[in-house]
Amino acid sequence: MKPAAFDYVRAGSVEETVSVLAEAAGDAKILAGGQSLVPMMALRLARPTVLVDINRIPDLDAVRRTDGAVEVGALVRHRDLTDQTEHPLLAEAARWIGHTAIRTRGTVAGSIAHADPAAELPVVALATGATATVIGPRGTRIVAADDLFVGPLMTTLADEDLVTAVRFPLPSRWGFAEFARRHGDFALVTAVTAELDDAVRIVLGGIGPVPRRATAAEAVLAAGGTAGDAADAAAQEIDPTGDLHGSAAFRRAIAAEMVRRALAGAGIGQGRA
């Protein structure tokens, strides 16, 4: 249960981070909050030869309200999200992440880049159409959440890329629902709905290798269907796998209920009074 030996670099700047990552050619990892990486190293599931610690890089810890969105820097912790009021959906989602001592250290950008299939923030990112600012050896680019997640713990980011900020658009209406065996555990199912520019997105997490938009359920709503109809459609369009935490049928049933609750929280598809 001890990590293997590695070289430690305390980066002073984004440029230094990217250059060390590029030099290591895939053997280096970025150390931010460390709440996922360090357990993986302790279990020897990850064995980087170089760790680039970005915690001392200045100016990466801001939460900024921009035009219609909230942008969070690479060193913004989950706790900073629960404490802010600019983006209520982010504040609610962050309350569901781990426990106090994990939220103290764990970072928002780290959660997005780590892409755990049961994590909350990738689901929020996809639901709000978030974008990541990514700096690599060839400069800065913007990557949409829609183009980010490709598999469990796998993204389209390159080994030498650093996510310096994530921009979460502010939805006009939103809902969040999660089911876990115990509060603080990874989700069996997370459902997030967000209304942006009059289009409603419904995204499910925990039911497959990546967060997934329930496009059939979105279409049901767009055609005037109720939240219940949309929830049923969502349960039908996903293909959950069973494991020791719950069977596929159980996850499907929970997914429908979480979609129903998320839509109720958003006040979407509730029918005419």
Partner 1 sequence: MNVTFTVNDESVRIDVEPRRTLADALRDNCDLTGTHLGCEHGVCGACTVLVDGEPVRACLMFAVQAEGCAITTVEGLQHDGALHPLQEAFVDHHGLQCGFCTPGMLLTAVHLLEHNPSPDRRTIREAMSGNICRCTGYQSIVDAVEAAAQRYPPGP
Binding site for partner 1 (CB under 8 A): 1-8, 10, 31, 34-35, 38-39, 42-43, 51, 53, 55, 79, 98-102, 104-105, 182-184
Least separation in angstroms between CB 182 and partner 1 = 8
Among candidate residues 33, 34, 30, the one with its CA nearest the CA of residue 11: 30
101 or 199: CB nearest partner 1: 101
Q: Least distance to partner 1 from the beta carbon of 187, Å?
A: 15
Closest approach of partner 1 to the CB of residue 7, in Å:
7
| Cβ(203)–Cβ(145) below 8 Å | no
- Cβ of residue 13: shortest distance to partner 1, in angstroms? 17
Whether the CB-CB separation of 71 and 61 falls below 8 Å is answered with no
Residue 11 makes CB contacts below 8 A (sequence gap 6+) with 17, 20, 52, 53, 54, 56, 57
- Structure tokens given for 263: 């839509």
Task: Using alpha carbons, select from 147, 118, 115, 114 the residue that is nearest to residue 130.
Answer: 147
Cα separation, 59 vs 98, whole angstroms: 26
CA angle 216, 220, 226 (to 5 degrees): 135
Q: What minimum distance in Å lies between the beta carbon of 218 and partner 1?
A: 33
What is the distance between the alpha carbons of residues 196 and 169, in angstroms, rounded to a whole number?
Answer: 8
Pairing mode, strands 131-136 and 139-144: antiparallel
Distance of closest approach, residue 181 Cβ to partner 1, in angstroms: 13
| Cβ at position 44, least distance to partner 1 in Å | 11
Q: Quick one: 48 or 171, whose CB is closer to partner 1?
A: 48
Residue 43 or 154: the one with the smaller Cβ distance to partner 1 is: 43
Q: Are 181 and 42 in contact (CB under 8 A)?
A: no
Residue pair 246/254 in contact (Cβ under 8 Å)? The answer is: yes
